[in-house]
Every structure is written in structure tokens, then in C-alpha cells.
Structure 1
């Protein structure tokens, strides 16, 4: 029995030894397998960390670039605001001209920058600005401005070096510059302008970090000089003599505040051929102004009248005196006319008619006064103003005059019905220097001349500082700075051509100081006239690019 027991014990020890060997082998195998896993996991974590770092770096870089781009846009916006502020305050006429920093660039063909009426900004080899309109350029430090010096001191580019105050209140360094300005519209009314400004964000070493280009479209309106957008024109700018061409010679344009001359096609003051003897108390303006339509005979009344002539000779005198009734046709009265007391056209209808407000409208072809008596016009002291629609010519002589008997200049309106003359004159108006005609003449196709009247010359009177009316003398040094009256024409003339008579030592146009307001009251706000400038009134489009 003992040997078997020993044998079993020996077998158990053997099995235990084998198990111990297996366990030691398994432990060593497991430790060998874990090492690669640890390496793989570590490598994965390293790659993930690097990737995360790269993504974070990219995000920071993208954010920084985005900030730089925002700052570049802010710089461009600063330039846009600065340009608009300068245009609206000191350089209004540049709004209707064009500019390009690079002279090799091409303007948008849809703009009017290629028009001969359009100039530049007078900077960076850009042509001088210009306008076909009458302008009020003002002065600079007491010196009168002109287009050759108009754009002096304008800022078209500027460095930005702010410590703060930019995007997110961070420091900014950069520069803005005006690339182009294009105008779309016309000088009479305005239009729109497109401002293109480039903003550049730089670092301390002036390396470019970002750029932004902004195109801003602004609405441009014409407005009265020295007035707000919807105001009427300054009465002191009123055109008392306005014509395409003027040969003023020794003629005078006199009156307090409003004796201004406008030559719409003249290039310089010398073009009006003014002699030393001529006195113009107001300002000489060159260029066009925006005029209202010429008054036309009321269409609803035309069927009740006929076109006729007033032609006198000998002792024939004529009077236009309306009945105190509305919508009533009537004939001019003739005293001394053989066989008749009235002048009626051959067509059989009267020349004149009153409207609902009892204003008088007369359709007349020619007025030719060759006798010794006058054509007298009664306005009932302006209660029944008279409108003469002249299709032909008006001629007076030294002894036979056209007289506004009891009204002011705004109570007798002479309208030339010919308006499409395209630079040529198709009507003539000849007054004489022996009488005063108080009237407003609006005949854009007419030539007007004040002829000499030997030994019968009429003389204007002006108020002195001593509050006395004295005869005006353009040869005297007497100080005539007050109201003037009784000139050969007392009122205003908007015509095609003013021609001085060489035989007349001085034709005189006297201008009532309140005529501008009187015409606006009589004819409406469109007769408030004068030189215009411009204003940017808002943004109608805005784009940005890099």
C-alpha cells in the first residue's frame, strides 16, 4: 500500500510543477502583447493631440485673418465716409465729375464720364472739373475759387494708425485710398455716383495683411446754392439778364442785390464784350441754369381767340384794357384808327381773353409801333395782370412806346412762343432808350436790343445813401447802391441774345429788388431761379469685395 501512495504523491507534484510552468509562460505572453497596444494608443493620442493643435492653430489663424479682413473693411468704410463728408461740405461740384486714380483704368461705359461736359477732380493727373451750369464755387480763405484750384487740399488717401477704436476696439494700422468715382446722370438734376475705396490692413512692417474694396452708390440731387435741398433759390442770385450770348457794350444792369447777368454759353467774362462804361451791379455768371417752361397760351381758352397784329402809324394809339369779368374775350381799343375803334384779327375772333381769375391773355403775332402814340397796357394795378404771347416781333420807336400804365414788372409778362431755336434767334424785340417798359420778358429765341433815341434819352434813377433818387450816370463816381428804377427796361429779360446798340451811349436795365419774389408769387415756385450746387442725400447700393 505504501508504494502506491508514494506514486500518487509523485504524480501530484509533477502536475503542480507543470501548472506552475504554464502559469509563468502565460504571464510572460500577456506582458509581451500589451506593449504594442500601449504604443499604438500612445501614437494615436499623439496624432490626435497634434491634429487638435493643428485645428486650433488653423482656427486661430482663420479668426486672425477674419479680424484683419474686418479691419480692412473698416478702413475702407472710413475712407468712404471721409470722401462723402468732403464732397458734401467743400467739393460739391466734384460729385458731377469723374475720377480714377489709375489713368489707364476704363470708366463704366454706362456712366457719363466719357462726355465732353464731364471733367475730372484735378488730382493725380485727372483733368480739371467742369460743369456747363452756372456755379457758385465760393472762396477759400478770402480768395475766390475757380475750377483750376477747386480741389485743392482734398484728401483722396490716408494712413490709419489708431491705437484703438477700430473693430473690437483693437489697434489698427493701414491705409484707404479712393480708386474711382463715376457719375451717372446730368448736371441739371443730379443722378447717382459710385465711390470705390480700397482699404488695406498692414502690420508694423507695412506688409499687407488684408484688403477690402467697397463700392458705394450715392444719390445726388441738385439744390440752390447756399440753400437746403427743397428751398427756393436765394433772391440775390436772381438772373435779371439771362441770354445765350451777350454783347453788353456800354449798357448797364443796375439795381439793389439782384442786378445779375447770366451768359449761358460764355466761356469767360470777356465774352460779353463789356466796355469800360458799362455798369453791372450784380455778379456775372457763366453757364446754364435750370429754367421753367415758357408760359404758353392756355389751351382751354385758345378756341375763343385769333392770332392778330398790333401795328400803328401816325396818331393811332392802342390800349389793352380788360373788362372786370372772367372768361370774357375782348379787342384792344384803338383811338385814331380809321373806320374802327377796335383791333380785331381777320379771322374774326378777339386777340385777348380773361381767364377764371380775370388774368388777361393776348395772342399776338407782331407788335410794330411806328406812329407817334403809344400802346398802353392796363393791369388794374396788378389785379388783372396781362400775359402777351408773342409769335412774331416787337418793335417800338423813339415816339411810340409800349407802356405798362399802372402795374409792376411782374404784372406784364411777354412770352416768346418760339422755343425750339437750338441756338439761333427767330424773334426780335427792339425797345428804345426814350421810355421805360416795366415787364418781364421770357423769350428764349428772341434777340433784344435797346436802340438809341437821340435827344430823347430816358435816364434811370437810383437811391443813394442819403435816401434820394438821383439820375444814374455810368460816367460818374457817385455811389449808387440802392434801389433803381425807370430804366429803358424795368424788370428782367430771359432771352436768346442781348445786343447793344453802338449808337446808344447806355441802354439801362433796372431790376426791382423784389422781382424774384414777385415772379414766384405770380408764376409759381419754378420761377425761383439761380445757380445750383449738389448734395449727396443717401445710399442706394453697397457692395464689398476682397
Structure 2
């Protein structure tokens, strides 16, 4: 009898071990299926925790071949195996990628669907950013950074130059297709030709030059940069700029700091709040960022450089993010008059990042034709050297204006303004397992 009991116990133990091993294999199979589905159809969710998959923040506009919805987080393996995703947590940034920790539960079911055995597999995978149109191991064709971003775009005779970052992201163009484009609103984005995209953004396929890529679709816009909380009093009676004016970063001369409308923080950034900017004739608004970045916050309705007036940012060698020109926050219900921002052509002076999510933007005096591009397709010159984000681009659609975007513009903004501003069109891929472990759940629960 004792021998029979030991044999029975041994057999029972072997069965349990076999079931536990099978449960672990089910969890592993579930992980493989989930990652394959995310890499293929839901790559934008690789940088989002699973509890936000149903309504994900759009750090990146979604690639045209992505699938709406969410990947299956539970499924069956064979006739008695079931897997359930318990958690997916991303650690990193949409700009650089990072790692994702996955916890998958595998179960072996009895004939009555109760649980015979269960195991959990914990796995960490690397998440890498890439461009939408290439595999991870191929040379990138685009940084995904939007050198020109707007809810609506009417390019006309304008160009965007720079192979890696001379990209356009239009958030609502496919919802407002011009009638002359002859494109059905039901047409899938992945079926758009390059000429379709140029037409949708108001360009001319025989004239408009976009060195990068054209992306069409929504994205979550970051907040407009603001001065530190300790400087909120700068918004009290901000001065208008109506005559030639100079700002010198971190200057001890009050006249060079708008007589108190500018202030320098502990990081050496000079913050200035102004009302409207309205210059004419040969008047200039000169910004010297030699001693540190300058950020201008415009509260009024107008930025306008008439006649031969213009913005002058020195030194010419300064990075574009050394001068930021920022407007009001986004106004989704149109409660306020849109800001109007009209710059004067000349990239040697218009070296900056412009962000007016409630603004209509354009350039006067374009068509300087002074863009110089190297053998890699990266360019200097043009009418704006940097990046322009706004509500509408097209106030200069007949001037032949050129926006030239530095290849590293996205990196500049990320480094100087933080991860909230690391937006753009990116794809992602989960590759490589850097950590793996598993354990059996007692009594299948």
C-alpha cells in the first residue's frame, strides 16, 4: 500500500509539473503573439502603458499602416491553454525609446474550464524608435520631427527643406480635403500617393518641394512653454514692440532687457513677455543670445514685420532653439481671435523655433532662393531656419517662402525644452529580451 501511495503521489506531482510547464509555455506564446501584433499593427502603443491603450496619448502621430483599436490582451493556445496580459509598463521616452516590462499569465484549463495550472512570465523588452517607412536595421529616411506642424496647411508656393527633419505634419488636412484633389474621404492614408499628400496640404505637385515626408493625422500638442512661476508678474502690462528694439540675453542693462519685461532665470534663460509686435520701414527687433537662450512670449494678437523691417537673431551660429517665439495656448472652441504671425524672410536672422497653437502663420518677402544643401540633403539658408508650429500655415502661400529645418532640430527641442516636446511621426519596434523570469501560481490561482 505504501509503495502504491508513493507511486500515486509521484505521478500526481509529475502531472502538476507538466501542467505548470505547459502554463508557462502558454504565457510565453501569449507574449510572442502580443509583441508580434504590436510590432506589426500597433507600434504606437509600444510607448504607452496598457491601461491607456484604449485612449492613448499621441506622443507620436500614428503611421499610415497602423491599425485602430488595441491588440488582443487575452487569447487561447490550443484547446486547453489561455493567456491573459496582466500588465505592460513602458519606461523611457517617445524620443529615445526605452524598455517595456510585460507580465503575462498562462493557464491550463480543465474540461469544465476551471484552472488546472497557472504560471506567470515576466519579460523586459527593448523599445526602439524608427521611421515609419524603414525597418529598424535600415538607414533612417526621416527623423519624424515636424519642421512644419499645423492643424491646417496651405502650402501654395512654399517649400520645406532638409532631408531628415524637413517634414510636414498636418493634423486636420484629411478632414478638409480641397475639392480639386479628387480624393475620397474614405481613402486609406496608406494608399495616398505623394501627389495626393501635396494636394491635401495645398501644394502643387509640380512646384512644391518637401525634402522630408508629409504626415497626415492627429497628435497631442504639448503645452506652450511658459516662464517660471516666479516670473508670472511679467504678464502684467507687457510692452508692445512698435519701434526698433534690442534684447541682449542676461544683460545687466535694463534697456537691453525691455526695462523689466525680461528676466533671466537660474539656468541662464532670458524670459520676455510682450504684447504685440508691429514693425515697419527698416525697423528691427534684435535678439542677441550670445549669453544664453531667449524666450519671447507674445500675448497680443499680432506679430507683423511690414516693409523692410525684420527680426534679427545673433549670433548667426546660435542653435535655432536659442530663440523661442511663443504664443497663446490652443483655443479649441475659438473663443478668442487667432493670433497672426507674419515674419520677414531671411534665415540668417529668422533662426528660431516658433510655436503658436492659436496662430495663423506666414512669411513676407520669401523666395530668396538662398537655400544651400549638401550631398546628404541637409540644408542651410532659406527664410526661416528652425521649425514652425501653429494652428494654420498659409499666410504666405504665394510668396515662395522656404522653411529650412536643421537635421537635429528635434534633438535641440528635446534637450532644451524636455520630453513633452519630443513629438513627431515615429514608429517603434520591440526587439530583444533583456530580462526574463517566471513563477508558478499555487493551485492555479
Q: TM-score, normalised by structure 2?
A: 0.67
Q: What is residue 80 of structure 1 aligned with on the other side? A: 27
Q: What is residue 165 of structure 2 aligned with on the other side? A: 258
- Which of 369, 373, 383 matches 2:282? 373
Question: Is the Cα contact below 8 Å between 1:306 and 1:351 reproduced in 2?
Answer: no
Tell me the secondary structure at the aligned position of residue 67 of structure 1. helix
Q: TM-score, normalised by structure 1?
A: 0.56
Tell me the secondary structure at the aligned position of residue 248 of structure 2. coil
Question: Is the Cα contact below 8 Å between 1:430 and 1:449 reproduced in 2?
Answer: yes
Asked if 1:242 corresponds to 2:149, the answer is yes
Asked if 1:353 corresponds to 2:258, the answer is no
Question: Is the Cα contact below 8 Å between 2:153 and 2:170 reproduced in 1?
Answer: yes
Q: What is residue 482 of structure 1 aligned with on the other side? A: 377
Once the two structures are TM-superposed, the CA of residue 391 in structure 1 deviates from its matched residue by: 1.2
- Which of 227, 230, 233 matches 1:300? 230
1-side partners of 2:202 and 2:151: how far apart? 13
Tell me the secondary structure at the aligned position of residue 419 of structure 1. coil
Tell me the secondary structure at the aligned position of residue 281 of structure 1. coil
Once the two structures are TM-superposed, the CA of residue 510 in structure 1 deviates from its matched residue by: 0.5
Asked if 1:330 corresponds to 2:330, the answer is no
Deviations 1:186-232 (A, max 9, x none): 99989987645444699xxxxx9x95355668789977448xxxxxx
Asked if 1:448 corresponds to 2:361, the answer is yes
Q: What is residue 312 of structure 2 aligned with on the other side? A: 403
Higher relative CO (Cα under 8 Å, sequence separation at least 6) belongs to 2
Tell me the secondary structure at the aligned position of residue 60 of structure 2. coil
Asked if 1:64 corresponds to 2:11, the answer is yes
Asked if 1:385 corresponds to 2:385, the answer is no
Tell me the secondary structure at the aligned position of residue 482 of structure 1. coil
2-side partners of 1:506 and 1:149: how far apart? 38
Once the two structures are TM-superposed, the CA of residue 291 in structure 1 deviates from its matched residue by: 6.4
- Which of 459, 463, 474 matches 2:369? 459
Deviations 1:79-122 (A, max 9, x none): 32233345557734648879xxxxxxxxxxx9567x4x47xxxx
Distance 1:65 1:290, change over 3 A: farther
Deviations 1:16-41 (A, max 9, x none): xxxxxxxxxxxxxxxxxxxxxxxxxx
Distance 1:299 1:178, change over 3 A: closer
- Which of 305, 319, 324 matches 1:413? 324
Distance 1:194 1:527, change over 3 A: same
Question: Is the Cα contact below 8 Å between 1:375 and 1:400 reproduced in 2?
Answer: yes
1-side partners of 2:287 and 2:379: how far apart? 23
Question: Is the Cα contact below 8 Å between 2:163 and 2:407 reproduced in 1?
Answer: yes
2-side partners of 1:445 and 1:542: how far apart? 53
2-side partners of 1:406 and 1:301: how far apart? 26
Gaps of 5+ in 2: 132-139, 175-188
2-side partners of 1:288 and 1:541: how far apart? 39
- Which of 203, 209, 213 matches 1:279? 209
Once the two structures are TM-superposed, the CA of residue 318 in structure 1 deviates from its matched residue by: 0.7
Distance 1:150 1:441, change over 3 A: same
Question: Is the Cα contact below 8 Å between 1:309 and 1:367 reproduced in 2?
Answer: no
Q: What is residue 469 of structure 1 aligned with on the other side? A: none
Once the two structures are TM-superposed, the CA of residue 281 in structure 1 deviates from its matched residue by: 1.6
1-side partners of 2:33 and 2:108: how far apart? 18
Gaps of 5+ in 1: 1-51, 99-109, 119-130, 138-144, 160-173, 203-207, 227-232, 333-343, 466-480
Tell me the secondary structure at the aligned position of residue 362 of structure 1. strand
Once the two structures are TM-superposed, the CA of residue 422 in structure 1 deviates from its matched residue by: 3.4
Tell me the secondary structure at the aligned position of residue 497 of structure 1. strand
Once the two structures are TM-superposed, the CA of residue 133 in structure 1 deviates from its matched residue by: 4.9
Structure number, greater radius of gyration: 1
Once the two structures are TM-superposed, the CA of residue 509 in structure 1 deviates from its matched residue by: 1.0
